[in-house]
Structure 1
Amino acid sequence: MTDLLTAIILGIVEGVTEFLPVSSTGHLVLATELLGYDPQKWAVFNIAIQPGAILAIVALYWRTFWAVAMGLVRRESASIAFVRNLLIAFVPAVALGLAFNDQIEALLESAVTVAWALILGGIAILVIERLARTHQVGGISGVSAGQSAKIGVVQSIAMIPGVSRSGATIMGAMVLGIDRRTAAEFSFFLALPTLTGATVLQLVKHRDAITGGDVQLIAVGFVVSFVVALAVVKAFMAVVTKHGFAPFAWYRIVAGAAALAFLYTR
C-alpha cells in the first residue's frame, strides 16, 4: 500500500470516528493491525490530522461561535457561561494528560486494550441510554459549572484508547441529566480545546521527526478528515435525534468482538 493511500484511509477513519462515540484513536490503532503499516511511522500523522476534523466543527457551527463571541463583547451571561463551562471541562484533560502522557502513549500500542474498551464502552452506552433520566437544559450555557467539571473528569477516561472521548463526554453528561442534543454538542465544542491542545503538545514533542514528505501527507489527511467529518457530524445528529446512541453501542460491541477474534486467531 502506498503512503498516499494510507494517508487517505487514515484521514477517512479520523473524519468518520472523531465525533462519534466509537473512539477515533481506537480505530486508528486497529487500522494498524488490519492494514499492516508501521504504527511508529504514522503516529505523528494520526495526531497532526485531528485539526481537520476540528475545523469541520468550526465550519458547521460558525454561527454559534460568532454569537458567543459577540455575546462576550456585550458581556452576556449566556455567552460567559458557554465559555466558562468548556474551560472548566477542559482542565481535567490538561492535568491528567500532562501527568500520564507516557503511560497513555504506551496504551496506544495495545490493540487488545482497544477491542475490550470498545465492547465495554458499548455495554455502558446501552445501560446509560436505558437508565439515564435527562431533561432539556437550554444548551451548553444552561449546564452548571459543577456539571461541567464532572463532564471534564469523565472525558479524561477516554485517554484509554478505545473508550472514546466523544462517548465519555456524552454519556457523562447524560448521567448528569443533560439532554442528548446538548450532551452531543458539548462533546463537539469541548473537542476544540482538548484536541487542539493534544495536537500542539504532540507535534512540539515530535517536531524533529517530521520531514517535508510528512507535511504533504499530513495535508492530504487533514483535508480528507475535514470533508468526511463535515458529512458525518450532520448525519450523526440526525441519527441521535431519531434513534439515540444505541446504534453506536451495538457497533462498538460487534467491532470490538470482531477485533478480538482477529487478534487472537491470526
Structure 2
Amino acid sequence: MGEILIAFILGIVEGLAEFLPISSTGHLILVGHLLGFEGESAKTFEIVIQLGAILAISVLYRGRLVSLFNIKPILRKEQKFNAIHIILGVLPAVIAGLLLHDVIKTYLFQPSTVVIGLVAGAILMIFAEKKKPEPTSFSLDDLTYRQALTIGLFQCLAVYPGFSRAGSTISGGLLARASYKAASEFSFLIAIPVMIGATGLDLLKSWDHLSASDIPMFAVGFITSFVVAMLAVVTFLKLLEKWGLTPFAYYRIVLAILFTVFVLL
C-alpha cells in the first residue's frame, strides 16, 4: 500500500480516535500493525499527526484558551474556569509521563499490551457510568479545583497505551460529579498541553528519523487528522449526551476480542 494512502488512513484514525474514549494510540498501533506500517518511522509519523488533532481543539476552543491568560478571576477568587484548573488537570500526567516515558515506549507500544489497555479502560468507563453520582458541575465554569485535580489524576491512567486519555478523564469527571459536557470539554482542553509536551519530547528524540522525503506523507496525515478531529469532536459531544460512555466501552471490548482472535492468536 502506498505511503500517501497509509497516511490518509492513519490520519482518519487519529482524528476520529484522539478525543473519543476509544484510544487513539491503541488504534494507531493496531491499524499500523495491520497495514505493516511499524518501526521508528511509524512512531514518528504518529507523533506528527497528533499535532493535527491538537490544532483542531485549539481552533475549536480558542476563546477558552485566550481567557486562560486573564488572571483577574484568580485574583478575585471568582468561581470561574481559569489557568489553575488546567494546571491541576495537567500536572499529574506530566509527572507520570516524565517518569515512565522511556519504559512505556520501550515495552508497552505493541498490539498485545494495547488489547489489555482497551479492555481495562472499557471496564473503567462502564463502572463510571453505573456509579456516577448526580452532577454538581454542568459547565467548565462550574468545575472546582478538586474536580480538576481528580480528573488530572485519572488522566495518569492514559500513560498505558490503549487505556485512552479521553476515556479515563471523562470517567474521572463523571465520578467527580461533573456533567458529560463539563467532563468532556475539560478533557479536550487539558489534552492540549499534555499532548504538546509529549509530542514535543517524542519529536526531539525521533528527530534523526525524519527526512525531507517524509514531508508529503506527514503533511497528508497532519491535514487529515486536523479536519477529521474537528468534525469528530462536535459529533462526539452530541453522541455522549445521548448515549453516554457505555457504547464506546463495548466497542473497545469487541475490538480487543476481534484483534486477539484474528491477528494475535
- Quick check: TM above 0.5? yes
Match of 1:18 in 2: 18
Q: One-letter code of the match for 1:262?
A: F
CA separation of 1:171 and 1:53: change in aligned 2, threshold 3 A = same
Q: One-letter code of the match for 1:164?
A: S
Quote the offset at 1:122 in angstroms: 1.5
Distance (whole Å) between structure 1 residues aligned to residue 68 and residue 91 of structure 2? 20
Match of 1:134 in 2: 134
Instruction: State, as a whole percentage, how many aligned pairs show the same letter.
Output: 38
Q: Is the 8 A contact 2:67 2:82 kept in 1?
A: no
* CA deviation string 1:185-229 (max 9, x = no partner): 011000110001111111111112211122332221111000000
Q: Is the 8 A contact 2:41 2:210 kept in 1?
A: no
Match of 2:111 in 1: 111
Secondary structure of 1:206's aligned partner: helix
Distance (whole Å) between structure 2 residues aligned to residue 77 and residue 159 of structure 1? 33
Secondary structure of 1:22's aligned partner: coil
Matched, 1:246 2:246: yes
Quote the offset at 1:143 in angstroms: 2.2
Q: Is the 8 A contact 2:128 2:175 kept in 1?
A: yes
If the length of structure 2 is used for normalisation, what is the TM-score?
A: 0.92
* CA deviation string 1:127-165 (max 9, x = no partner): 210111131414233322233222212101111111001
Unaligned runs of 5+ in 1: none
Distance (whole Å) between structure 2 residues aligned to residue 248 and residue 49 of structure 1? 23
Quote the offset at 1:81 in angstroms: 4.3
RMSD between superposed Cα atoms in Å:
1.9
Distance (whole Å) between structure 2 residues aligned to residue 158 and residue 35 of structure 1? 25
If the length of structure 1 is used for normalisation, what is the TM-score?
A: 0.92
Match of 2:155 in 1: 155
CA separation of 1:68 and 1:102: change in aligned 2, threshold 3 A = closer
| Count of equivalent residues | 264
Match of 1:102 in 2: 102
* CA deviation string 1:55-79 (max 9, x = no partner): 111222223334444x446766559
CA separation of 1:78 and 1:6: change in aligned 2, threshold 3 A = farther
Distance (whole Å) between structure 2 residues aligned to residue 184 and residue 32 of structure 1? 27
Distance (whole Å) between structure 2 residues aligned to residue 209 and residue 87 of structure 1? 32
Q: One-letter code of the match for 1:110?
A: Q
Q: One-letter code of the match for 2:93?
A: A
Matched, 1:206 2:206: yes
CA separation of 1:50 and 1:79: change in aligned 2, threshold 3 A = farther
Secondary structure of 1:49's aligned partner: helix
Quote the offset at 1:118 in angstroms: 1.1
